[in-house]
């Protein structure tokens, strides 16, 4: 069992334990709080009523919330990576400011036509953030060693698959929102089980690959200088491919399908160290994509709207065109927070929040957000590189890559690089399930990074070191 070793009582040799860098995390969190509060001030400045003192309270509340998360990290995972939490806090805070900003725009346009002012999305998102951080602390407190997760590998896999498949199999009345069957409606609450399934399945695949790793490295025939795996070893990959196609067909969700397949493929590649898997996977992907484009109408629509959104400007291409107008109007430096019209893009607070950021903060702001994501992914990859155990490596790589892939799919969709898929930007966008799942994801990543950086985990359990002269002889077992 790994126990937290605070820097202050570093044991027999003072200074030998590496610094925890928790203070750096706190400083960076304060920095994120300043950035977010400034952003909020800018939004308010650009509104008719101007800035009120409540902005300061909002900033303080934000800092208190993430301060609590920081204290939990200090307590439960003191050696955790010091940059991941501040980055996530920054993204989450920016998302809250943007959602608040869009609420203001909706309220203003409702007032101008004399409609009832809508309640707004901000209170929900704040509640979800609080709940997400509570979950974050809970996971850190509960999962004291990530390796224990491997023991529940198959359970996780089963629950994950069920969660992934559930909305697709349930009647549309309970599971369909805006054409995608990825929801569960329970009373007043709608949750997206797929977001949680993503993590459960990663745990399963990592655990599975650790035990069956040898299987995948058995060489088959050699083609074009590349060792192909044996046909029968393709089964797990084929299963993943089949499941993601099933998601696509039953749930009409391009994004989840793509995420699922991408993560499994990368985990297999990392575990086996064989590029052949990547090539085979990409061929599967291209085949699946081509066939889906030919067969499924909802895929075709997305592809047409992607190739030329202006060809059906008033229909399928409208949202994409509005996004491009917003991004173009924003230009390099943006219109300024609160001074643009990101509310003209439908679903600006969820799928298209990055378009809203690109409009008001410009290319510069969008690039900053993307680089913040990149930082989180790179810190996660670093964790995967440094952690000793194979399961930890695979899980960290999967968690980090999941964020990177999701950002690519979302932002690529919004900026017309790839077809639109209907995923949301982690931490930025409005949506409870995504926020909760991603806080669990980050908690696991921090847990692994703690294991990677903590002296207790990085070396085998230390025995009391006696002077060499007093060393005893050892008995070696006979062969």
Site for other proteins, rule CB under 8 A:
108-109, 111-113, 266, 269-271, 273, 313, 321, 324-332, 340-341, 344, 358, 362-363, 366-367, 370-371, 373-374, 377-378, 381, 384-385, 390, 393-394, 397, 400-401, 404-405, 407-408, 411-412, 415-417
Residue 52 or 217: the one with the smaller Cβ distance to other proteins is 217
Tell me how far, at minimum, the Cβ of 222 lies from other proteins, in Å: 20
Name the 3-class secondary structure at 290.
helix
Q: How many CA atoms lie within 13 A of 154 on its CB side?
A: 2
Q: Which residue's CB is nearer to other proteins, number 123 or number 328?
A: 328
CB-side neighbour CA atoms (13 Å) of 370: 17
Nearer to other proteins, 175 or 323 (CB): 323
CB 400 within 8 A of CB 392: no
Min dist CB 191 to other proteins, Å, is 28
User: Shortest distance, CB of residue 414 to other proteins, whole angstroms?
Assistant: 10
Nearer Cβ to other proteins (113/469): 113
Report yes or no: 358 and 334 within 8 Å, Cβ to Cβ.
yes
Q: Tell the smallest beta-carbon distance from residue 314 to other proteins (Å).
A: 10
Cβ-defined contacts of 100-105 (< 8 Å, 24+): 100/40, 100/43, 101/43, 101/337, 101/338, 101/342, 101/356, 101/360, 102/342, 102/343, 102/348, 102/349, 102/356, 104/43, 104/47, 104/338, 105/341, 105/342, 105/343
Q: Directed axis angle between helix 362-386 and helix 390-414, to 10°?
A: 170
Q: What angle do CA 391, 397, 400 make, to 5 degrees?
A: 135
- Distance in Å, CB of 477 to other proteins, minimum: 32
| Shortest distance in whole angstroms from residue 229 CB to other proteins | 15
Give whichever of 192 and 323 is closer to other proteins, judged by the CB atom.
323
Q: How many C-beta atoms lie closer than 10 Å to residue 3's C-beta?
A: 7
Nearest distance in Å: CB 324, other proteins? 5
Which H/E stretch holds residue 222?
Answer: strand 219-223
How many other C-beta atoms can be found within 10 angstroms of the C-beta atom of residue 314? Answer: 7
Burial 125-164 (b: 16+ CB within 10 A, else e): bbebbeebbbbbbebbeebbbbbebbeebeebbebbbebb
Q: Least distance to other proteins from the beta carbon of 114, Å?
A: 9
In 10 A of CB 333, how many CB atoms? 11
Of residues 61 and 108, the one with the C-beta less far from other proteins? 108
For other proteins, which is the closer residue by CB, 29 or 268? 268
Cβ at position 334, least distance to other proteins in Å: 9
Which C-beta is closer to other proteins: that of 304 or that of 329? 329
């Amino acid at each position: 069992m790994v126990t937290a070793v605070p820097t202050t009582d570093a044991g027999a040799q003072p200074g030998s334990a590496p610094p925890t860098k928790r203070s750096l995390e706190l400083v960076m969190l304060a920095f994120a709080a300043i950035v977010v509060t400034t952003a909020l001030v800018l939004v308010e400045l650009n509104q008719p009523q101007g800035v009120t003192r409540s902005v300061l309270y909002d900033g303080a509340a934000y800092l208190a919330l993430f301060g609590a998360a920081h204290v939990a990290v200090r307590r439960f995972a003191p050696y955790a990576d010091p940059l991941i939490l501040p980055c996530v806090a920054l993204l989450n805070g920016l998302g809250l400011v943007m959602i608040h900003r869009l609420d203001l725009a909706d309220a203003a346009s409702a007032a101008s036509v004399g409609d009832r002012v809508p309640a707004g999305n901000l209170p929900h998102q704040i509640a979800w953030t609080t709940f997400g951080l509570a979950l974050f602390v809970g996971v850190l407190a509960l999962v004291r060693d990530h390796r224990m997760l491997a023991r529940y590998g198959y359970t996780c896999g089963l629950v994950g698959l069920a969660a992934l498949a559930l909305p697709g199999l349930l009647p549309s009345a309970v599971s369909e929102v805006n054409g995608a069957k990825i929801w569960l409606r329970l009373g007043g609450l709608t949750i997206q089980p797929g977001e949680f399934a993503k993590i459960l399945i990663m745990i399963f695949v990592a655990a599975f690959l650790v035990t069956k790793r040898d299987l995948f490295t058995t060489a088959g025939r050699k083609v074009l200088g590349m060792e192909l795996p044996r046909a029968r070893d393709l089964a797990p990959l084929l299963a993943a491919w089949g499941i993601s196609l099933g998601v696509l067909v039953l749930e009409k969700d391009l994004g989840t399908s793509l995420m699922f397949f991408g993560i499994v493929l990368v985990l297999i590649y990392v575990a086996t160290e064989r590029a052949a898997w990547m090539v085979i996977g990409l061929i599967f992907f291209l085949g699946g994509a081509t066939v889906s484009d030919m067969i499924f109408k909802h895929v075709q629509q997305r592809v047409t709207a992607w190739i030329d959104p202006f060809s059906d400007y008033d229909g399928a291409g409208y949202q994409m065109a509005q996004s491009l107008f917003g991004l173009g109007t924003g230009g390099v430096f943006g219109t300024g927070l609160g001074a643009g019209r990101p509310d003209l893009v439908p679903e600006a607070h969820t799928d298209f929040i990055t378009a809203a950021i690109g409009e008001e903060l410009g290319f510069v702001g969008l690039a900053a957000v993307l680089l913040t994501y990149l930082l989180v992914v790179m810190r996660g990859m670093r964790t995967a590189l440094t952690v000793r155990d194979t399961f930890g490596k695979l899980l960290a790589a999967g968690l980090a890559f999941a964020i990177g892939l999701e950002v690519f799919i979302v932002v690529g969709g919004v900026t017309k690089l790839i077809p639109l898929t209907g995923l949301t930007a982690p931490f930025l966008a409005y949506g409870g399930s995504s926020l909760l799942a991603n806080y669990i994801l980050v908690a696991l990543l921090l847990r692994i990074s703690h294991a990677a950086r903590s002296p207790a985990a990085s070396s085998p359990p230390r025995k009391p070191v006696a002077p060499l002269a007093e060393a005893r002889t050892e008995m070696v077992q006979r062969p």
